[in-house]
Structure 1
Amino acid sequence: MNRKDQSGSTLFIVVVSLLGIGLLASGGFGFWAYSGRQDYKDNVDLKVAAAVKIAKEDQAVELTKKFEDLAKSPYKTYQSPATAGSVTFTYPKTWSAYVDETNASQPINGYFHPNQVPGTNSGTSYALRVEMLGSDYSQIIKSYESLVKKGDLIASPYIPPKMVGVPNAQLGTRFDGLISQNKSGSVVILKVRDKTLKIYTEATDFMADFNNIVLPSLVYIP
């Protein structure tokens, strides 16, 4: 056999091999595609049922959230005695309150929480705490400095929206993060006359209520 015949035979073998590989590949792809279609056909009811279940669960969560938000209104209002700066704010009607106003050195010591207020020794992270303290504003701010330096807290200037432009109302400070051991939330500290107002939430679960209901309604006589 001459070289020309050998070259022709070799070319023929290569072409046949490539065609064979192509047929195998297309056959494999066809089998994969068929299997996928068959799987979808066989399990379409299960897939639809699963999708419907997920949609219903998502809808239930959304409806529950809307119901909870509606249940919070109309809001309740707290107002302290005039001697304590007439501190006033609104809070969800689904919350209960326990406020001690009998201590001269701490004219306001309030606890607010959904349903009923747990005992002070229960270890509960309260939805809202309100304190009017006899301590100087700068001393209270200083007590948070170590947490800020560690990065556990973020400090930022703050004044309640309704107090902007009010004569003698001073800029306060807001702390966000780990406000105490095992409690994450937000603390707002404001100077009120010769005392200091400390209003805060001890749990991130109540942050929306704190930011959207309590703080926007907060007023006092500076």
Structure 2
Amino acid sequence: MDNQGSNNFNNNQGGVAHDANFWNPNPVTQSQGFQPQSTQPQGYQAQGYQSQEALQSQSSQYQTSQSQAFQPQNFQPQNFQSLAQSNSFQTTPINNFQSSASANTNNLLNKDFNIMTDEEKKEAERIARAKNRVDLLKTIGLIVVSLLAVLFIGLFIWMTLKWSEASTNVQGKIDVAVAEAKNQLQAKLENEFAEKEQYPFLTFSGPADFGSLTFEYPKNWSVYIPDDASRGGEFNAYLNPGQVNVVSDTTIMALRVSIRTEQIDSVLEDYNRKVQDGEMTVASKVVNKVNVNVFTGKLDNDYQGIVCIFKIRDKTAILRTDSSNVFRENFEKILSTIRFNS
């Protein structure tokens, strides 16, 4: 019975075929065949749905393109290589990755801390500590560079001032130095002169041909040299306090100096005879690092005196005082200062 009711229902429809899509109100006849039609308006078909004629046209075009898509004679390796080198096969550069990581870091630090996950908070704290360390190192470096710059600037200013002072005061300093040198020299000369004035002795200098005999004698003594020894012969000199008395054998002289060409042995014979006769005594004394004989006793003029005899080169030097009681101390001082060229 159900089938009959169904047939009656179909018969009552008048043979008119309806679309299976009940939302399509437009019926089509049997002669036209079943063609699905879009329920959307024409303006909506432009966005994704097309008519049957358009679908057939696209199907024919697709078959034509598929028939021409691959032909062995048109295949070339270069096209495949260019395809492999297209953007679909390219890898991301390292700098793009670094810029992406930097952008992610900045985004993480700019993100609200309260809405971060635990892992994001830990990562943010690690990044913040790293940035703080970098900032601290930068600050320390800046401080060190600043201190070095201040130090170099200070040294430069100090050297500039020194150079300026030296360049502007060179002449003044030279004048001051010259004046100080003159004052020092003058003071030195005055001191030497004062010392010489206070020093109670003067220096006697004999001729160079006779061994350059020198010794010190009291400065209140006078010196008399009667003959020029450069003419040859003997050299004689007479020294006496105040002024020199008339030269004679009977005159008392504080010091008689004689350099003879006579050999020393012949000169010593007379004094050794007086030693044997008991009129004189002999003693050895070091004069100018040489042992010499010193005779003390009765002289030829019957005065009690002291005689020192020593050799100078090929000559004989005789120093004598006519009064051993008055001039003994001065005579010994003179012997201690004797110098000559042997």
Give the TM-score, by structure 2 length: 0.40
Aligned residue in 2 for 1:105: 233
Shift >3 Å, 4+ stretches: none
Asked if 1:74 corresponds to 2:179, the answer is no
Find the residue that maps to 2:215 and give its secondary structure: strand
Aligned residue in 2 for 1:144: 271
Amino acid at match of 2:327: F
Note the C-alpha offset of 1:221: 0.5
Asked if 1:208 corresponds to 2:318, the answer is no
CA contact (8 A) 1:89 1:215 kept: yes
Of residues 289, 294, 300 in structure 2, which corresponds to 1:180?
Answer: 300
Deviations 1:17-51 (A, max 9, x none): xxxxxxxxxxxxxxxxxxxxxxxxxxxxxxxxxxx
Amino acid at match of 2:246: G
> Which structure 1 segments of 5+ residues have no match?
1-70, 165-169
* Cα distance change of structure 1 residues 72 and 125 upon mapping to structure 2, 3 Å threshold: farther
Note the C-alpha offset of 1:123: 2.3
CA–CA separation in structure 1 for the residues paired with 2:318 and 2:298: 16
Find the residue that maps to 1:119 and give its secondary structure: coil
Indicate the percent of aligned positions where both proteins have the same amino acid.
29
Note the C-alpha offset of 1:216: 1.0
Give the TM-score, by structure 1 length: 0.60
CA–CA separation in structure 1 for the residues paired with 2:211 and 2:299: 25
More helix by share: 2
**Higher normalized contact order (CA 8 Å, seq sep 6+, divided by chain length):** 1
CA–CA separation in structure 1 for the residues paired with 2:211 and 2:286: 16
Of residues 66, 70, 84 in structure 1, which corresponds to 2:210?
Answer: 84
Aligned residue in 1 for 2:191: none
Q: Work out the number of aligned pairs and report it.
A: 143
Aligned residue in 2 for 1:195: 315
CA–CA separation in structure 2 for the residues paired with 1:194 and 1:152: 29
Q: Please tell me the root mean square deviation across aligned C-alpha atoms, in Å.
A: 1.9
CA contact (8 A) 2:250 2:301 kept: no
Which structure is larger by alpha-carbon Rg, 1 or 2? 2
CA–CA separation in structure 1 for the residues paired with 2:299 and 2:331: 15
More strand by share: 1
Aligned residue in 2 for 1:114: 241
> Which structure 2 segments of 5+ residues have no match?
1-196
Deviations 1:152-193 (A, max 9, x none): 100122331xx11xxxxx532110111223211110000100
